[in-house]
Amino acid sequence: MTLIRSAFAAVILLAASACVATGDDPSSVIKAGNQSASCSAPAARVPSGVPLETMVGQLLVVGFEGSSPGSASAAAVRDDLAAGRVGGVLFLRHNVSTAANVKALAAGFIEAAGSTPPLLMIDQEGGAVARLTPSMGFPATPSAETVAQRYSPGEAEAVYRKMADGLRAWGFNVNLAPIADVEVNPSNPVIAKPNRAYSSDPQVVAAYNRAFLSAHRAAGVAGTLKHFPGHGSSAGDSHNGAVDVSATWSEAELIPYRTLIDARAVDVIMVGHLRLDRPGATDTLPASISPSLIQGLLRDELCFSGVVVTDDLIMRAIRNRMSAIDAVVAALKAGNDIAVVSGDASTGPDFPQKAIAAVVSAAEQDPAFRRSLEMSYARVMDLKRRFGAPKGL
């Protein structure tokens, strides 16, 4: 933990600098996102002397079983946080029971992580996708479709500020929302039918996305645009298997991303398990493990310099192709900064150690991959610096 704490302190000091001195060693300075020069990305620097294993651990977000701090799985996650083997925790529906338990779990994870705050993530969109509910004392929020029908973007920001304040008070610093998917297919089973999309108009989607993200930032919670490059035209659900949007997707689905990236309004983007055979692509992999779509489109073309996170790598669209360990390696190689693995019986209690070992082995054979991991570590640590850990739970 000493190395992690000193590295985190170094990131705080470096991020506070307005510029990089001209005499700095160019090898120690990186462009956030590794974009082309036309992106004019801000510079970031990797603290020296941080072991590669430590860096990789901060790029893993895991799930757990149970809904109380006394569960064996929660205790194992606390051990992994304390040892620096994971950098964050994902709360799913089965992890939330009462307000007291959620806050106690969050407090335990924060305490275990020490001076390097963990990323505590949850899906709280509103409507059908809400892990925290009124039955446990959390304020209800309408679905995206309902919000867009009832409120202006300005009014929606107040609605989402109430949600974000609640998330922070309950221990969370990352919300895996809002939906940036454009309702291209009104029969879409996973986006349109559950009323998760704001509109079929990408400009309207962008306006409500901005309201959601702004409210969350103000409350100290990082919002997450999803599911890049766009799930709104699909006829299938990537929870159940591979989803190919090549024949239905259009460039208009990038408008919310372009708009909010250009406005520097988004801190985190989630990449979906969506296959998109886009002109100029160098691979035909699902976006979540596609260098062409993450590095090529999101980083180099759209100039996103924030944190890129995978959708859950346990979902069938990925697990039907490869093991969870291989998926973590593929996801980080593709340019994701954070690999999310909610975990199940197929991963096992020693999953973080095995994943770290596999990533480190691959990086030791590939200097470019190692440099990419260093950049991801810098971005993740900066996100932690800016959003920190909630206190007083």
CA distances from 361 to 42, 309, 334 (A): 30, 22, 16
Taking Cα atoms as reference points, which of 133, 70, 134, 128 lies closest to residue 104?
A: 70
Residue 346 pLDDT: 61
pTM summary value: 0.91
Q: Burial level of 207, CB count in 10 A (0-12/13-18/19+)?
A: buried
Looking at the DSSP bridge assignments, the partners of residue 309 are 270, 338
Residue 363 pLDDT: 98
How far is it, in rounded angstroms, from Cα 346 to Cα 171? 28
Structure tokens at 178: 């809002």
How far is it, in rounded angstroms, from Cα 290 to Cα 330? 8
Contacts of 156 (CB under 8 A, 6+ apart): 147, 148, 208, 211, 212
Taking Cα atoms as reference points, which of 333, 274, 321, 314 lies closest to residue 34?
A: 333
How far is it, in rounded angstroms, from Cα 187 to Cα 153? 25
What is the 8-class DSSP label of residue 28?
G
How far is it, in rounded angstroms, from Cα 291 to Cα 229? 13
Structure tokens at 27: 């090898």
Residue 2 pLDDT: 46
Contacts of 235 (CB under 8 A, 6+ apart): 185, 187, 188, 189, 248
3-state secondary structure of 33: coil
Residue 144 pLDDT: 98
Residue 10 pLDDT: 46
Place of tokens 């799913």: 92
How far is it, in rounded angstroms, from Cα 57 to Cα 4? 10
Looking at the DSSP bridge assignments, the partners of residue 61 are 88, 340
Looking at the DSSP bridge assignments, the partners of residue 265 are none
How far is it, in rounded angstroms, from Cα 255 to Cα 376? 25
Q: What is the second-level CATH architecture of the domain 2-387?
A: Alpha-Beta Barrel (3.20)
* Backbone dihedral angles phi then psi of residue 203, each to the nearest 5 degrees: -70, -35
CA angle centred on 352, ends 64 and 393, rounded to 5°: 45
Residue 239 pLDDT: 82
Positions of the chain with pLDDT lower than 50, given as ranges: 1-7, 9-33
Residue 35 pLDDT: 52
In terms of DSSP bridges, do strands 29-31 and 43-45 run parallel, antiparallel, or are they unpaired?
A: antiparallel
Residue 21 pLDDT: 29
Residue 236 pLDDT: 85
Cβ atoms 337, 380 nearer than 8 A: yes
